[in-house]
């Protein structure tokens, strides 16, 4: 701190020639004039801290993927990209001088599909998740977390409703459960076949059987049981 104060005083005419009061007063005048210039030109720098007004506490929330955030930055950069033109009046000017604004967004599961537009009519469609084939990566990951967590469907719906983060439809969850069940069946079958194909040396048979049953138990505990518990709970309801 002291070194910075000395540096500022030196730039203002010398350490001995400038008092702390003069230094602070000059710096405040400089800040105010710079801030007013930014505000008048519409280019005021944004603050890192984003306050949430009282009336916006119920605003929509969604899940965003890292690559989708990069894609949004690239979209804004492309909109503001300087034009390379032989015309000196156009060269170096932004492709579009108008600022982009969020017009609306809708949910597809936990993904936001946003319409971004400027006053000149430039329109961009942005999604908060990349695709894996046709499905969204975000929705696939949320479905994976839901199915492997063991929570019940009504618990999942309450969490999503209270948080306001969108939700996967019952049809999507049902399809995901069917796919998971098929994978679990295939894993169990493969593990059983591997255990049966192992050498039956009497000296090692007992330990190998214990190991095989241990693998089956781990598969059941980690993957199968949440699915069957959820199905049993749904049947009881």
Domain containing residue 76: 58-137
Residue 179 Cα distances to 105, 176, 186, angstroms: 30, 5, 11
User: pLDDT tens digit string along 121-131?
Assistant: 899 999 999 99
Residues 118, 80 share a domain: yes
- Average of per-residue pLDDT across 25-51: 70
146 by Cβ neighbours in 10 Å (0-12 / 13-18 / 19+) ranks as buried
Residues 196, 128 share a domain: no
119 is a domain residue: yes
Residue the block writes with tokens 């998740």: 129
Q: Collapsing DSSP states into helix, strand and coil, what is residue 48?
A: coil
Q: Identify which has the larger pLDDT, 73 or 48.
A: 73
Q: How far apart are CA 185 and CA 141, in angstroms?
A: 21
The tokens describing 172, both together, are 């999507």
143 is a domain residue: no
Residues 119, 65 share a domain: yes
**Number of residues that this document lists for the chain:** 237
Q: Identify which has the larger pLDDT, 218 or 52.
A: 52
Residue the block writes with tokens 């017009």: 103
Residues 132, 64 share a domain: yes
154 is a domain residue: no
72 is a domain residue: yes
Residues 119, 79 share a domain: yes
Residues 63, 33 share a domain: no
Q: Which of 27-36, 179-188, 211-220 has the highest mean pLDDT?
A: 179-188
Of 137, 160, 195, the position where a domain reaches its end is 137
Average pLDDT, the chain: 80
- pTM of structure: 0.61
133 is a domain residue: yes
Determine which helix (DSSP H) or strand (DSSP E) holds 105, and give its type and residue range: strand 101-108
Residues 76, 133 share a domain: yes
Phi, psi for residue 222 in degrees, rounded to 5: -80, -30
Residues 28, 75 share a domain: no
166 is a domain residue: no
Confidence category of residue 117, pLDDT binned at 50, 70, 90: very high
Of 98, 120, 137, the position where a domain reaches its end is 137
The pLDDT, as a whole number, for residue 17 is 64
Residues 75, 122 share a domain: yes
Q: How far apart are CA 103 and CA 121, in angstroms?
A: 12
The pLDDT, as a whole number, for residue 79 is 87
Residues 78, 29 share a domain: no
Domain count along the chain = 3
Considering the chain, what percentage of its residues have pLDDT values greater than 90? 32
Residues 130, 102 share a domain: yes
163 is a domain residue: no
Q: Identify which has the larger pLDDT, 230 or 80.
A: 80
Of 102, 137, 172, the position where a domain reaches its end is 137
Q: Identify which has the larger pLDDT, 154 or 12.
A: 154
Q: How far apart are CA 77 and CA 66, in angstroms?
A: 17
The pLDDT, as a whole number, for residue 148 is 87
153 is a domain residue: no
Q: Collapsing DSSP states into helix, strand and coil, what is residue 165?
A: coil
Q: Collapsing DSSP states into helix, strand and coil, what is residue 63?
A: coil
User: pLDDT tens digit string along 215-232?
Assistant: 666 665 665 566 666 666
Sheet architecture: strand order including 123-127 = 101-108, 111-117, 123-127
Phi, psi for residue 141 in degrees, rounded to 5: -70, -40
The pLDDT, as a whole number, for residue 196 is 73
């Amino acid at each position: 701190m002291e070194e910075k104060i000395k540096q500022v005083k030196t730039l203002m005419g010398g350490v001995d020639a400038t008092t702390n009061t003069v230094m602070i007063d000059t710096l405040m005048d400089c800040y105010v004039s710079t801030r007013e210039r930014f505000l008048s030109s519409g280019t005021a720098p944004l603050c890192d801290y984003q306050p949430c007004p009282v009336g916006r506490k119920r605003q929509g929330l969604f899940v965003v993927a890292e690559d989708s955030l990069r894609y949004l930055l690239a979209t804004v950069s492309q909109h503001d990209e300087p034009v390379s033109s032989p015309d000196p009046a156009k060269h170096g000017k932004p492709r579009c001088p108008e600022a982009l604004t969020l017009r609306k967004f809708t949910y597809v599961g936990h993904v936001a599909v946003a319409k971004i537009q400027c006053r000149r009519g430039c329109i961009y469609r942005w999604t908060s998740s990349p695709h894996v084939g046709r499905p969204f990566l975000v929705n696939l990951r949320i479905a994976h977390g839901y199915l492997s967590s063991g929570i019940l469907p009504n618990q999942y719906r309450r969490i999503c409703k209270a948080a306001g983060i969108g939700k996967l439809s019952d049809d999507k969850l049902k399809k995901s459960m069917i796919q998971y069940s098929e994978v679990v069946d295939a894993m169990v079958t493969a593990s059983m076949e591997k255990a049966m194909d192992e050498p039956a040396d009497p000296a090692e048979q007992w330990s190998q059987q214990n190991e095989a049953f241990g693998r089956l138990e781990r598969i059941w505990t980690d993957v199968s049981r949440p699915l069957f518990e959820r199905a049993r709970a749904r049947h009881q309801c």
